[in-house]
Structures are given as structure tokens and as C-alpha cells.
């Protein structure tokens, strides 16, 4: 099956343009109306000149639009732009981050295959692997993200997929992508990296040997909390052919409206990620000197155990800061409840700062034992630092802390 989303725009495949140029310019094929801004194509199907053309489009002999479950110019514009930004050959957009992960599993795995996954991944990803993939005979072993020996020990003859997020949520542990990519490839497996926290503005896992990048476009790619969306980036065969066919057939398509929002988000991604990182660094430093805080998790602090590795893989440290308040759950809830400005919500990657108590929300389904294994303590708070004035964010947090 041919993928009609192959790049045709004059600057894609990328000339040696810079990241910000690609983010702003890639993928818009101007129509005869000569519009400057990227249009939203709100149409479910496309019209053919003749029966012969329809047949050629369906057979794949002619590239072009057919039906918006798998061909829509706005969605393709987003896909081409994100592919260029990640340095990948192809991208497929999906209805959500979760459907991006599901498309990978449906497309690349079969009954009897095995996944090795970091234990520190998005909670719903764990549920997908444990509860649903297991129904179809795909088993998962969860390992410690930063312990290469535990990855090695988990490998089986039927292992096909390694899955991780780096930095992890909410404890900001950093994986050595190159090391794990090599291990995966030596064991007949693909490495999938969920690049949600850094985005390509700060980290390009493909350059370290990862095979597939997953995104929840819901987070920083859109960046303003407006949509739910996802994407997978990788090479032409895996993504442009195999996963394109999965999404075409199973239907978790990104809507053109959501694609347009994410597309416009990409234009300011670099600027926003720099600003999120700058603000998060100020907050992390403030918190690390606060007497009522036990520990701060932020890859930008030199006290972070993997600060050096983060510096090698990332161009900056991102917007997520987690910290443990002395006094456990009661004190942590008090800090959260005393905020007026911050949003008490589990989302992240928004210009609005959000605050979360992982142990009773995002990680509330974990058993006491699993919480201990993953380090989700009762005093832990996660802040996704937004772009409001940093002084206001600090004042809001210090009310409950002081």
C-alpha cells in the first residue's frame, strides 16, 4: 500500500534548514487560492476527475487524496512538519498519544511476542500493555529505566519491542537512548521512545538510534491545552508503510482541526520549550533551597544523578519539576490546595502551569508495592511549569510550603 502522505513540498525532504525554519515552513502545499496561512480541510472525502483516476488512486498507482481517514492535507501538513523536526522520514498522526502507541503494537507485534518496557511510563501505557495486549498473547516485562542490567535480564527470545520515556514522569529519570537502542538491535527488537517531555526541540531520539518516536500531541506539540492528539515518527517502511496501513485500516485518525492546532503549535515549539526550561530551572533552584522540601527532581540541577547524561542527550531540561514535601500526603495536599493560580489538573505541556499529586491521581491505580518500586511517594508533587510570570508561580507555591 502506498502512502500518499509522502513529502512533496519543495523544502521537504529538508534542505539544510535550521530547526525553527522547518517548524514554520515545512509541508504547506499552497492551493490555487494562494493562502498564506495553512488551511483546515474540513472534508471527509475527495473528488476524482474520472473513474480511471479513482481506480488509480485506490490501487496506489497515483498519489493523491482519497478519504480523510487516511488522507487529509491538513493532517499531512502536520505529519510532514513533525517528521522534519524529529529528523525522521515519515510520520503518522493519530487521534491521541495512546492510539499512537496502540498503532505501533498492532502494526509491529503478533501473538507470542514480548515487550520490555520501562516501569516509569505513562500510567495508561502500562494498562494498555498489561490488560489489553496480554489478551492477544503479547506479554510485557517492566524494568527499571536506568538499570541496563534489568533490561538485559528481561530479554527473551520472543522480545520484539523496547519501550521507554526519557526523562520519565514524574521522577525525571534519564535513559541512555544509544545504549538501549544498541541492546534492542542486538536482540532483534525495535526501540520506541515516547518523546513527550522533551519534544524534538530539546531531544531527537532517532539520532541516538531509536527506531520509533511516539508523541502525545496533546502536550507540548499543541502546547496550549486545546486538543487530544498523537503521532509516530520513524522510517519510511515502519511508519510510512506499515503504521500508515494500520491507521488507515483501524481508524484512529487525527481530525484536521486537531492537526491544524498541533501544526500551529509546532511553529512556536522551540521558543516555548526554551521558555518552559528557563522557568522550570528557576523554580527547581528555588525549591531545592526550601527547608520544607525533602528532594527536588529536575534534570537541570547538577545534583540530579543523571545531569551529565541529560546534558549529552538534551539541549535543555524541559518544563517538568517534581519535588517531595516533608510531611507526606497531608502536607503535599495542603501545598496543592493553597494555590490560587496553578491549575490542579493532570495534564502537562500547557502554557498554564499545572500541579498534580501523582500518588492519588495519575499513579493512584498502582499498588503500594508498585508505588515503592517506582518511587511515587505520598509527599511527591509534580509541577508542569507554564509560561506565566515565574514570580507568580513561586508565590503561589510558597503559600502552602512556608
Ligand X SMILES: *Cc1c(COP(=O)(O)O)cnc(C)c1O
Rank residues 100 and 301 by Cβ distance to ligand X and give the closer one: 100
Closest separation between CB of residue 337 and ligand X, Å?
24
Please, what is the end-to-end C-alpha distance for the chain in angstroms?
Answer: 61
Rounded to whole angstroms, how far apart are CA atoms 138 and 148? 23
Rank residues 218 and 322 by Cβ distance to ligand X and give the closer one: 218
- E strands along 212-350, which residues? 212-216, 230-234, 293-297, 320-325, 343-344
Closest separation between CB of residue 21 and ligand X, Å?
27
Neighbours of 3 (CB within 10 A): 22
Rank residues 97 and 358 by Cβ distance to ligand X and give the closer one: 97
Closest separation between CB of residue 339 and ligand X, Å?
21
Rank residues 234 and 400 by Cβ distance to ligand X and give the closer one: 234
Rounded to whole angstroms, how far apart are CA atoms 108 and 89? 18
Rounded to whole angstroms, how far apart are CA atoms 137 and 115? 11
Rank residues 218 and 279 by Cβ distance to ligand X and give the closer one: 218
Rounded to whole angstroms, how far apart are CA atoms 297 and 197? 14
- E strands along 15-130, which residues? 90-94, 114-118
Closest separation between CB of residue 98 and ligand X, Å?
4
Closest separation between CB of residue 216 and ligand X, Å?
3
Rank residues 128 and 293 by Cβ distance to ligand X and give the closer one: 128
- Give one DSSP letter per residue of 104-119, joined into a string: HHHHH--TT-EEEEES
User: How do beta strands 380-384 and 354-356 pair?
Assistant: antiparallel
Closest separation between CB of residue 61 and ligand X, Å?
35
* Residue nearest ligand X (C-beta atom): 97
Closest separation between CB of residue 194 and ligand X, Å?
5
Closest separation between CB of residue 197 and ligand X, Å?
7
Which stretches of the chain bind ligand X, using CB under 6 A? 96-98, 122, 125, 165, 169, 194, 196, 216, 218-219, 228, 230
Rank residues 219 and 331 by Cβ distance to ligand X and give the closer one: 219
Nearest to 199 by CA among 235, 234, 229, 166: 166
User: How do beta strands 212-216 and 320-325 pair?
Assistant: unpaired
For the beta sheet containing 380-384, the strands, ordered from the edge strand earlier in sequence to the opposite edge, are: 293-297, 320-325, 380-384, 354-356, 343-344
Closest separation between CB of residue 251 and ligand X, Å?
15
R_g (Cα) of the chain, nearest Å: 21
Secondary element (H or E) of residue 93: strand 90-94
Nearest to 356 by CA among 396, 321, 398, 395: 321
Beta partners for 343?
Answer: 354
Amino acid at each position: 500500500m502506498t502512502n500518499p502522505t509522502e513529502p512533496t513540498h519543495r523544502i521537504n525532504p529538508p534542505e539544510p534548514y535550521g530547526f525553527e525554519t522547518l517548524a514554520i515552513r515545512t509541508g504547506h502545499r499552497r492551493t490555487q487560492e494562494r493562502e498564506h496561512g495553512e488551511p483546515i480541510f474540513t472534508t471527509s472525502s475527495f473528488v476524482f476527475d474520472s473513474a480511471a483516476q479513482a481506480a488509480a488512486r485506490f490501487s496506489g498507482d497515483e498519489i493523491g487524496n482519497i478519504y480523510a481517514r487516511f488522507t487529509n492535507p491538513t493532517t499531512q501538513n502536520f505529519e510532514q512538519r513533525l517528521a522534519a523536526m524529529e529528523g525522521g522520514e515519515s510520520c503518522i498522526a493519530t487521534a491521541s498519544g495512546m492510539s499512537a502507541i496502540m498503532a505501533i503494537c498492532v502494526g509491529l507485534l503478533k501473538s507470542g511476542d514480548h515487550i520490555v518496557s520501562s516501569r516509569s511510563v505513562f500510567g495508561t501505557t502500562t494498562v494498555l500493555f498489561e490488560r489489553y495486549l496480554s489478551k492477544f498473547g503479547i506479554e510485557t516485562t517492566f524494568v527499571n529505566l536506568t538499570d541496563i542490567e534489568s533490561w538485559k535480564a528481561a530479554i527473551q527470545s520472543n522480545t520484539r519491542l523496547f519501550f521507554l520515556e526519557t526523562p520519565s514522569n514524574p521522577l525525571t529519570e534519564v535513559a541512555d537512548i544509544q545504549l538501549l537502542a544498541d541492546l534492542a538491535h542486538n536482540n532483534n527488537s525495535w526501540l520506541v521512545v515516547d518523546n513527550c517531555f522533551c519534544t524534538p526541540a530539546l531531544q531527537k531520539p532517532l539520532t541516538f538510534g531509536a527506531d520509533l518516536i511516539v508523541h502525545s500531541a496533546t502536550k507540548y506539540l499543541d502546547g496550549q491545552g486545546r486538543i487530544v492528539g498523537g503521532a509516530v515518527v520513524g522510517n519510511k517502511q515502519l511508519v510510512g508503510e506499515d503504521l500508515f496501513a494500520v491507521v488507515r485500516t483501524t481508524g484512529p485518525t487525527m481530525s484536521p482541526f486537531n492537526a491544524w492546532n498541533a501544526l500551529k503549535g509546532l511553529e512556536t515549539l522551540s521558543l516555548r520549550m526554551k521558555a518552559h526550561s528557563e522557568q522550570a530551572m528557576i523554580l527547581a533552584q528555588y525549591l531545592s533551597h526550601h527547608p520544607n522540601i525533602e528532594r527536588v527532581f529536575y534534570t537541570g540541577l547538577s545534583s540530579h544523578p543523571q545531569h551529565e547524561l541529560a546534558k549529552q542527550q538534551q539541549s535543555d531540561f524541559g518544563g517538568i519539576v517534581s519535588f517531595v514535601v516533608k510531611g507526606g500526603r497531608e502536607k503535599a495536599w495542603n501545598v496543592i490546595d493553597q494555590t490560587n493560580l496553578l491549575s490542579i489538573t493532570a495534564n502537562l505541556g500547557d502554557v498554564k502551569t499545572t500541579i498534580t499529586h501523582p500518588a492519588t491521581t495519575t499513579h493512584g491505580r498502582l499498588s503500594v508495592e508498585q508505588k515503592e518500586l517506582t518511587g511515587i511517594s505520598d509527599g511527591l508533587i509534580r509541577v508542569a511549569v507554564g509560561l506565566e510570570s515565574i514570580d507568580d508561580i513561586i508565590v503561589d507555591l510558597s503559600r502552602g510550603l512556608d
